[in-house]
A and B are shown apart, each in its own frame.
Chain A
Amino acid sequence: MKLDSMYQDIILDHYRNPHGKGLRDGDVEVHHVNPTCGDEITLRVRLDGPVVADVSYESQGCSISQASASVLNDLVVGKNVGDAQAVQEAFLELMQSKGTSEGDEEVLEDAVAFAGVSKFPARVKCALLSWMAWKDATAKALAQQPAVND
């Protein structure tokens, strides 16, 4: 298995220069950990009506988990919650593909770079940590704002 298939340049770029990192105001805060490796993320979601207004986070972990959080921020902020959830589901599907999917670049943009990670079972959960935290936080934020209707 070629290491370069996992550590794509796009991933290393996001790792070195993460987008949207740092905690800002949010409606909901969640804390997720990866108990097998100790990766942690504190993530806040702020909704503005039906729109994901901001996703901010503090995290520690490997290059894959850090880059993944950066890409998450790029992909969901500014989208309608429903569209963002569709991206999240597409990313989850890609990560569970065991290397058989290349991902739809129209939907996933930079996140298709993680296709190679799906071949490394031990690292899939690294890539998913921030996305699962976002999913959790968004569900909680929606529950707080039953009026939100997209």
Chain B
Amino acid sequence: MTTHPGSAFAGLLAPAQEFGDLLRKDFPILQRVLHDEKPLIYLDNAATSQKPRQVLDALNAYYERHNANVHRGVHVLAEEATALYEGARDKVAAFINAPSRDEVIFTKNASESLNLVANMLAWADEPYRVDADAEIVITEMEHHSNIVPWQLLSQRTGAKLKWFGLTDEGRLDLSNIDELITEKTKIVSFTLVSNLMGTVNPVEQIVRKAQSVGALVLIDASQAAPHMVLDVQALEADFVAFTGHKMLAPTGIGVLWGRQELLEDLPPFLGGGEMIETVTMGSSTYAPAPHKFEAGTPPIAQAVGLGAAIDYLTNIGMDKIAAHEHTLTEYAVTRLQEVPELRIIGPRTAVDRGAAISFVLGDIHPHDVGQVLDEQGIAVRVGHHCARPVCLRYGIPATTRASFYLYSTPSDVDALIDGLQHVRNFFG
């Protein structure tokens, strides 16, 4: 760790190093060494997180001792598997402060959660139905998974798709909020934290406006749930979507939280086993939520893994994780700006920003930056990060993104800075 005597970080870096070093002992993959004995420095956490031993053990234990299909069968394994799967739902409900466990729908990822809401609204009765007279509002900083489902809904129904633009500083431009969110708006869907820029968005102002016109609000919390206290009641949204694999859980498990009365009123999307009450050849009636929205055998082991991940995160404390990442972010944005010709895309301070930091380095293409960093054992993401409109907005083809998590340390930041100097020398 580079010491910055007298700087704002003086007292913060050593504890942050200790915090990360202690946690990374739980993550077997972080012990890997790559090309020529370089220790892995994993800075691609906004894409997916690594998994602690505790989560891997829970997955193994499930398959070694309890594996069965859920909600059917009366044998011991079926009952244990059901208890574990539904126990994971309880853990998620507590983690996000949901008023009821029945408001927690398991999906395969955040994309499915977002698509599920779009399809609920496509088939809903009034007043929720999205039709040719309706308007949908999103933002220019969304991940493609919160753009394309709304484009599809708009194309299929004739509804008008509108979006908030971005300021030069990488924030939402709310100056035209009254023109964007109107009496015609049926749904406002936006990300809590930008996956490309790290921007934390002002939820309250958007939610207030949406509520004033009777529009539903869907919040994409994929980049928030892993990193901060997520309280769906405090957000006052109608739906909140996130994914497990970015928060220490396996891939293949996501969550959609929705307000109970909405889940009662809105129609199912996928039909199949588990989501029914009775079936005849002519018609069916549906199980109550959340099962109404969970057709077919769900990702059981993955849900159990998510439960174990939530236990792990909760034991540490989401407030402590958020504080740790804030220190790292502050240190990283400061040090990155010491690198000549480096330009951060997004907020240039740690205020209202998460730990995903995108940048461009002179005219060196991000692919080349990422390749030379990889040679030094440093894993970053390069490209447009499934948020191409952001790149278009700022006139860049792509960015390099470094993103931190609970096991990241100030020395990871130092390695990144040294690595970037090496990139500049290589292409200089």
A38, A120, A123: the one within 8 Å of B398 (CB): A38
Closest to B35 in A: A1
A3, A40, A64: the one within 8 Å of B367 (CB): A64
- A3 near B365 (CB under 8 angstroms)? no
Residues of chain B from 349 to 377 with CB closer than 8 A to chain A in the complex: 365-368, 371-372, 375
Report B-chain residues with C-beta under 8 Å of the C-beta of A18. Answer: none
- A38 near B427 (CB under 8 angstroms)? no
Report B-chain residues with C-beta under 8 Å of the C-beta of A7. Answer: 426
- Bound CA span A123–B365, Å: 13
- Bound CA span A37–B388, Å: 10
- Given the known interface contacts A37-B383, A123-B371, the answer about A60 and B397 at a Cβ–Cβ threshold of 8 Å is yes
Chief secondary structure at chain B's binding surface:
helix
How many A-B residue pairs have C-beta atoms within 8 angstroms? Tell me.
43
Most buried by B among A6, A37, A63: A37
- Bound CA span A122–B375, Å: 14
- Given the known interface contacts A38-B384, A63-B427, the answer about A3 and B397 at a Cβ–Cβ threshold of 8 Å is no
- Bound CA span A126–B426, Å: 19
- Bound CA span A46–B343, Å: 39
Contact-residue size bin, chain B (C-beta under 8 Å from the other chain): 10 to 19
- B388 near A3 (CB under 8 angstroms)? no
Binding site for B on A (CB under 8 A): 1, 3, 6-7, 12, 36-40, 60-64, 120, 123, 126
Known contacts A3-B375, A61-B365, A63-B365, then 18 further A-B pairs from the complex at CB < 8 Å, ordered by chain A residue:
A1-B35, A1-B375, A3-B372, A6-B371, A7-B426, A12-B427, A37-B367, A37-B383, A37-B384, A38-B388, A38-B398, A40-B397, A60-B397, A61-B367, A62-B367, A62-B368, A63-B367, A126-B367
Binding site for A on B (CB under 8 A): 35, 365-368, 371-372, 375, 382-384, 388, 391, 397-398, 426-427
